[in-house]
Chain A
Amino acid sequence: MTDTTLPAPRRSGFRFDRYASGFLLLASIVLYVGLVVVSGQTKYLSVDNLVSILGRSITLGITAIGQTFAILVASIDLSVASLISASAVVTSVVMNGEPSMMLPAILAVLALGAVVGLINGLVISKLEVNPLIATLGMSLIIQGVLSAFYNNFAGKVPVEFQIFAYGSVGIVPYSLIFMFVLAGLAWFVLRFTRFGSDIYSVGGNKDAARNAGIKTSGVIIGAHVVCSLCAAIAGLYLASRLRSGAPWIGAEGVYDLESIAVVVIGGTILAGGRGGIWGTMAGVIIFSLIDSIFNVIGMDAFVKQVVRGIIIVAAVAFYAVRSKRPVS
């Protein structure tokens, strides 16, 4: 934080932190390839399999793109998992198998995401509620309302909409292309627009940003709207892939925790103001590689969960040990 204000000589040397997510990605690729070769299961190295590894993490990837915005602005969003469930249910209930209802359903889901993000942002910036508590509360509210009305798979997604999840160009699924286009768009916004630079300023130092004339509440609200919109899109995708929506699918995927974990593994710091989209995408790929490694060595599902918890903490520690920030 202080390195821009202090006239200290800039280290011209190699800055490890900046490329750490790249190294982690490389390390997990090496580990994966090594394991596959050592165990002689070279079928796991085919292009088809690599595409399917990526394909499995589309929901997480889309959610994490949004989460990056929230974390960059020094906030956090724990309501994404229940919003994903809600969006998926709204998608399949509104569509209800009718191709003609596709557009209304998509618009309804995006409106839902925008409203949830707006409320999150307003509560956090205007009422000054701790973002963790605000979004946890929002998560409870969404989940409660959802389970009051639905307790199982509801509605149906028409075949035309399933193309979103199952269609592909050659072997590359549309959804994978969509995720990378979305990531490119997010990168463009963060890198080249005023909103993007405001996000970094507010996340880096809110008071300084306000003194510099940035309307901090507007930026925080904007970041949360982007985050919730991404979660809503992830819900659309999940409904398309599962062919229907149920009120537990978001919580089952632990998308709230996992999206935060991949953002942090990608080098965006939780205190805000530093990081970026491509690190997050590297984090998503690292996560799906770890999953594939578990599959290759045939790990028990519950042990997998334990190892996963340890990996998340270790990855955060990897970045945190070197920072001089006080802990909380």
Chain B
Amino acid sequence: MTEQTLSTPGSARRRLLQINPVYVLLVALLVAIVLLNPAFMEPQGYMNYLKRAAALAILSGGALYVIVAGGFDLSVGAMMTLTVIGSSMLASNDPNSTYWIIPLMLGIGALVGLINGLVVSYLRVPSLIATLGMMITLTGVAFVWSGGAPRGYLPDTFRFFGRFNITGVPLVNIFPVAIICLVVFGLILWWGMHRTNLGRMIHAIGDNQRAARLAGVPVERVRITAFIVSSMSAVVAGVILGGRAGVSVDIGSGYELQAITAAVLGGAQLLGGRGSVPAAMAGALALEAIFTLLNLLGLPQPVRQVVQGLILIGAVALAMYRRKRTGR
């Protein structure tokens, strides 16, 4: 928060050092992928990569709101599952249903976020436990709703957002709708976090809750809003993921950890006060690039888990080390 007032003019080299390392990491990973697989340079290659990463990137941008406010939201993966399962149950193969299902799901997402926020703010349950409880509950609800095995499928109008490619675009030829969603929601989340009072207040309560309260920030309302943003972005991510991958009962599981990993890779400070939406999204792209790279190297699925664990610990340890050294 203080870097703007402290930075001395004309220290271009220091500013260069202050470039978020996640962008360097992302570029390095993309170069490595291109070296291993030149076909990645074709529009087909990188557009598919961005399409795969879109859901996680939007989710990470939303999850960042809660992280910067000083909490965790572990219910987002289950919220994605609920979105996909619920939509497929409600759609009952009617293509016109999409127009009311998506707003309804966004409403459910807002409600879930509201409950998370209320439980954390007024019942004083640590967000970790509150959202873990919500995760179990939502997974259970998705199971009860589908009766254990999901029936039906998502209509093409619903899958449009995650699957459809616009063809015949000059230069790149194909352009997935998911990337348009990524850009639009990325801009909205960036604007909300970095260009509004809400964003400043979220930073403030994450940095020092008491100081923020004394300065007149409505702490409870801001925290609840952060949880609502997180849950609603999970619904959007669920719509895109469901569109791309179809219906399955564990479609969203594990995404909550990937979102936190992405935010941490993007330099977000756990327990609040610092974080950037573009960097978190770059973190998500980097994570997806790592997975792509592991695939190219022909490593089996479990290795992904190990690598993700190592990255998670390594990124936080590095951030702590940097903070200690720079004294910020």
Contacts and interface: CB of A to CB of B under 8 A. Distances in A.
Interface of A: 123, 127-130, 132-134, 136-141, 143-148, 254, 257, 260-261, 264, 270, 300, 302-306, 308-310, 312-313, 316-317, 320-321, 323, 325-328
A327 B128 contact: no
A127 B148 contact: no
Contacts of A261: 129
Given A306-B141, A317-B119, A327-B121, A264 B129 contact: yes
Contacts, number: 146
Contacts of B230: none
Contacts of B304: 144
A129 B129 contact: no
B135 A309 contact: yes
A309 B133 contact: yes
Interface string B259-280: 0100010000011100000000
Interface of B: 70-72, 119-121, 123-130, 132-137, 139-141, 143-144, 148, 209-210, 257, 260, 264, 270-272, 300-310, 312-313, 316-317, 320-321, 324
Nearest to B121: A327
Contact of B123 (A129, A308, A321): A321
A129 B320 contact: yes
Contact of A130 (B127, B137, B270): B270
Most chain A beta carbons < 10 A, residue from B119, B210, B272, B304: B119
Given A136-B312, A313-B133, A328 B70 contact: yes
B5 to A, nearest CB: 26
A320 B306 contact: no
A141 B310 CA distance: 7
A310 B137 contact: yes
Contacts of A306: 136-137, 140-141, 144
A144 B305 contact: yes
A322 to B, nearest CB: 8
A148 B272 CA distance: 35
Tell me if A's interface is mostly helix, strand, loop or mixed. helix
21 contacts: A127-B321, A128-B320, A128-B324, A133-B270, A140-B257, A140-B306, A143-B302, A270-B129, A302-B143, A302-B144, A303-B144, A306-B136, A312-B129, A313-B133, A316-B126, A316-B130, A317-B119, A317-B124, A317-B125, A327-B125, A328-B127
A288 B320 CA distance: 41
Given A129-B313, A302-B148, A310-B137, A316 B129 contact: yes
A260 B125 CA distance: 13
A130 B124 contact: no
Contact of A312 (B133, B141, B209, B317): B133
Given A127-B320, A320-B125, A321-B124, A312 B136 contact: yes
Contacts of A140: 257, 305-306, 308-309, 312
B126 A145 contact: no
Contacts of B137: 305-306, 309-310
B93 to A, nearest CB: 24
